[in-house]
Structure 1
Amino acid sequence: MKAKIKFKKATSPFYAELREEVKLLLTEKVIRKANRLLIIKFISYTVIFLLLYGNLFNPYMKGKTWAVILNYTLLGLTGILLAFNCSHDCVHNTFSKYKKMNQFIYYITFNLQGVNARLWRKRHITSHHVFPNVDGCDADIDDNIFIRLSAHHPIRNIHQYQHFYATLLYCFYTLHWIFIKDFIYLRKKELGNLRNQNHSWKSVVEVVVLKLAYFTYMLVLPAIFTGIPGTTIMISFLIMHLTISLFFVLTLIISHLSLETDFPIADENGCLPYDYYEHQLAVSLDYHPTNPLANWIFGGFNSHAAHHLFPGLPHTLYTIITPAIKKAAVRNNFPYHEKSIAEAVISHYQYLWKLSK
């Protein structure tokens, strides 16, 4: 019988000290400001998203292919930013003190992107966040036929070229998620560290109905109620997905899959080499973690160490607590990885090249 995966017992004062330092930093005034910023971001991205969608029905758009393509692309990017900056916090119940409000917002905003909110939450919370970068436990790095994401995965002949063709595959990430990935997860009995997964027929119907609703509001309604040709709508929709796929992948994948991040292996007793908190630092890479503009755009995904150490805090606090994390890591001789976003993307492709050998 396979040993249950577990973390090494914590012996360092790292987290105990850090938690006290963070408490001192997060005064009532700081927390109120961070919560206000969350609401401002939610309103801003929601209003922009609705205005861009409404603009598709603007008579001015008729006959202007370039304007339709641009509008769709901006609409898609705004939807991703809404998910980054609001939905993700709602999934962790850090947007509002009211759990039902968090559930409502993340459910609506995620499904507006064509991906199933419920399936993503289960994978994210109960798999990725528990054992990030651990093979067989983190659903985000499951064995992939086309891309080898871990040195512990089997190597196939096609992988020797993966650093060349990865960008092309990344361009279709969201379309693959919408059309294929969600349905694969509906059929999978084992998902990362999750075993005996079962989905009721109601869950399956929910997934199908929500996807039909997505295609209805993104494709059918504009085709019926505007003078925009159907081919223009389809081309615009495709370009939108190519753009947001690259943006989505290359701002998220670099947080865990790079030359700097570790992929810990459990020993014969199922024990990982790090305690829980050192593990979160070892497998994460930050980019511009204290930059307010980066925080506004990426919703804290650029401050991944802070997010994995303090998932119960809203991302608008990460710029404040990251300096304390850095200092605590140095004091305790714990790993901490930080690069610019350009360096992080380069590191990811170097990582793919390394794993192609």
Structure 2
Amino acid sequence: MSAVPKFAASRSFHTELKNRINAYFEESGKEQTGTASLFVKAIVLTVAFVALYVHVVFFTPSALLAVLECALMGAVGSAIGFNVMHDGAHGSFSKSKWVNQFAAFTLNVMGGNSFMWNMKHNLIHHMYTNVDGFDDDIDAQPWLRLSSTQPRHRFHRFQHLYFWFFYALLFIAWIFFMDYQKYFKGKIGEVPIKKMTATDQGVFWGFKALHLLLFMALPIYLVGFWAWLVGFVVFGCVAGFCLSLVFQLAHTVEHAAFPMPHETTNKLEDEWAIHQIKTTANFATDNKVISWLVGGLNFQVEHHLFPKISHVHYPEISKIIKQMCQEFGVTYNEYPKMRYAVASHVSFLRQMGRA
């Protein structure tokens, strides 16, 4: 395994930024965790998902309605991931540890695993963002080339045309293949995972079994194999595409940096906070509907700098971060519309396929 890279020693930017953000919360008297509106949203999304599941599985609607409901389940499921699971996994959903754990465990019910997510996302992606070989989020090889340091194959010339197909498959591949791959390999990218406790093992296998029961065995028994297969593929592909697109728009766009450590010193050029800003981009931050649906993950700069602050506070703290970037001469990447970010992502894929 390659040694993990080191960041530049200077932390003046990050220290000053933390001081200003802490001052904002002290002066406003706000908690850094979620508000009542976040709890209401979590309940609305969860009830909607359960209602859709119960209706499509137990009440056997017409084929067309069933397909539409499965697609809606995929969209609502991804919204639960963005709004509930994501904040819970970062410990920012609530002041209560058990509430955060409960929110994070929605991933386990959906078929993923909160332990693997914590290792992959919280500990690795948030530390070594866009560093090839360490950030698993930019490793879609050989199907997609997401960094200039990755090998290029002839078929990558067309990746800006076929990427949507692999994005749609993400969720299905995640729950049926990627979690198990990490489990048996014992590492994510080049980084070994920490040893799993007996509880971690029980959660991994217990919830994988529960997911198979709820999303495979029971539906197959009640509606038949082929009806289940069509519905599950629709559900999984919609969820996968939504999840992939939102996270990719944050880092694999034209203006995001892809730093690599120095060959001899193994050091990255910037301190950690500046590294996060350079490798991340926001999109459609003035669109309240998008912000509501994606759980503030269109404010990815704020999220990467302060993952333990709930996304409900990102619009306010973004003003402080923008001001800091202006003072320190750090470029703050932002696309005013989601379609601009999508266009930039497609253009980036085209460049990586032909460079």
Using the size of structure 1 for normalisation, the TM-score is 0.90
SS of the residue 1:171 aligns to? helix
* Aligned-partner Cα distance in 2 for 1:143–1:188: 17
**Counterpart in the other structure of 1:346:** 343
Letter in 2 for 1:195: P
| Contact in 2 for aligned 1:49/1:78 (Cα 8 Å) | yes
* Aligned-partner Cα distance in 2 for 1:248–1:315: 17
Residue 30 of structure 1 and its aligned partner are, at CA, apart by: 4.2
**Counterpart in the other structure of 1:48:** 48
**Counterpart in the other structure of 2:162:** 165
* Aligned-partner Cα distance in 2 for 1:193–1:72: 36
Residue 15 of structure 1 and its aligned partner are, at CA, apart by: 3.2
* Aligned-partner Cα distance in 2 for 1:343–1:118: 34
**Counterpart in the other structure of 1:314:** 310
Letter in 2 for 1:297: L
Structure 1, 289-298 or 29-38: larger mean CA deviation = 29-38
| Contact in 1 for aligned 2:108/2:207 (Cα 8 Å) | yes
Of residues 87, 101, 104, the one that matches 1:103 is: 101
Instruction: Specify whether residues 69 and 183 from structure 1 end up closer, same or farther in structure 2 by C-alpha distance, changes over 3 A only.
Output: same
Using the size of structure 2 for normalisation, the TM-score is 0.90
**Counterpart in the other structure of 1:194:** 191
Residue 37 of structure 1 and its aligned partner are, at CA, apart by: 1.9
Which stretches of structure 1, 4 residues or longer, exceed 4 Å deviation after superposition?
1-4, 27-30, 196-206
| Contact in 1 for aligned 2:291/2:298 (Cα 8 Å) | yes
Note the 1:62-211 alignment, pairs <5 A. 62=61, 64-107=62-105, 109-142=106-139, 144-192=141-189, 194-195=191-192, 206-211=203-208
Q: Which runs of 5+ in 2 are unaligned?
A: none
Letter in 2 for 1:211: K
Residue 203 of structure 1 and its aligned partner are, at CA, apart by: 5.7
Residue 100 of structure 1 and its aligned partner are, at CA, apart by: 2.6
Structure 1, 134-143 or 260-269: larger mean CA deviation = 134-143
| Contact in 1 for aligned 2:92/2:309 (Cα 8 Å) | yes
**Counterpart in the other structure of 2:241:** 246
| Contact in 1 for aligned 2:33/2:310 (Cα 8 Å) | no
Residue 81 of structure 1 and its aligned partner are, at CA, apart by: 0.8
Of residues 289, 293, 298, the one that matches 2:289 is: 293
* Aligned-partner Cα distance in 2 for 1:33–1:131: 25
**Counterpart in the other structure of 1:270:** 266
* Aligned-partner Cα distance in 2 for 1:71–1:294: 21
Question: Is 2:36 aligned against 1:36?
Answer: yes
Residue 318 of structure 1 and its aligned partner are, at CA, apart by: 0.5
| Contact in 1 for aligned 2:77/2:239 (Cα 8 Å) | no
Structure 1, 126-135 or 191-200: larger mean CA deviation = 191-200
Structure 1, 110-119 or 229-238: larger mean CA deviation = 229-238
Question: Is 2:232 aligned against 1:237?
Answer: yes
* Aligned-partner Cα distance in 1 for 2:131–2:333: 18
| Contact in 1 for aligned 2:32/2:310 (Cα 8 Å) | no
Instruction: Specify whether residues 54 and 147 from structure 1 end up closer, same or farther in structure 2 by C-alpha distance, changes over 3 A only.
Output: same
Aligned length: 351
Letter in 1 for 2:130: N
Structure 1, 174-183 or 276-285: larger mean CA deviation = 174-183
> In the TM superposition, what whole-angstrom CA distance separates every residue of 1:282-308 from its partner, at most 9, and x where no partner exists?
000101235433221111211010011
Q: Which runs of 5+ in 1 are unaligned?
A: none
SS of the residue 1:258 aligns to? coil
- Quote the RMSD (CA, aligned, Å): 2.5
Instruction: Specify whether residues 4 and 206 from structure 1 end up closer, same or farther in structure 2 by C-alpha distance, changes over 3 A only.
Output: closer
| Contact in 2 for aligned 1:8/1:272 (Cα 8 Å) | yes
| Contact in 2 for aligned 1:186/1:199 (Cα 8 Å) | no
| Contact in 1 for aligned 2:89/2:114 (Cα 8 Å) | no
SS of the residue 1:172 aligns to? helix
Residue 4 of structure 1 and its aligned partner are, at CA, apart by: 4.7
> In the TM superposition, what whole-angstrom CA distance separates every residue of 1:40-65 from its partner, at most 9, and x where no partner exists?
12111111112222222564x44x10
SS of the residue 2:82 aligns to? helix
* Aligned-partner Cα distance in 1 for 2:148–2:33: 43
Residue 224 of structure 1 and its aligned partner are, at CA, apart by: 3.5
Structure 1, 93-102 or 188-197: larger mean CA deviation = 188-197
Residue 350 of structure 1 and its aligned partner are, at CA, apart by: 1.0
> In the TM superposition, what whole-angstrom CA distance separates every residue of 1:154-180 from its partner, at most 9, and x where no partner exists?
222332222222122222111111221
- Aligned sequence identity (%): 27
Residue 28 of structure 1 and its aligned partner are, at CA, apart by: 4.9
> In the TM superposition, what whole-angstrom CA distance separates every residue of 1:186-228 from its partner, at most 9, and x where no partner exists?
1224424523765579866754442332132123323444xx4
Residue 246 of structure 1 and its aligned partner are, at CA, apart by: 1.4
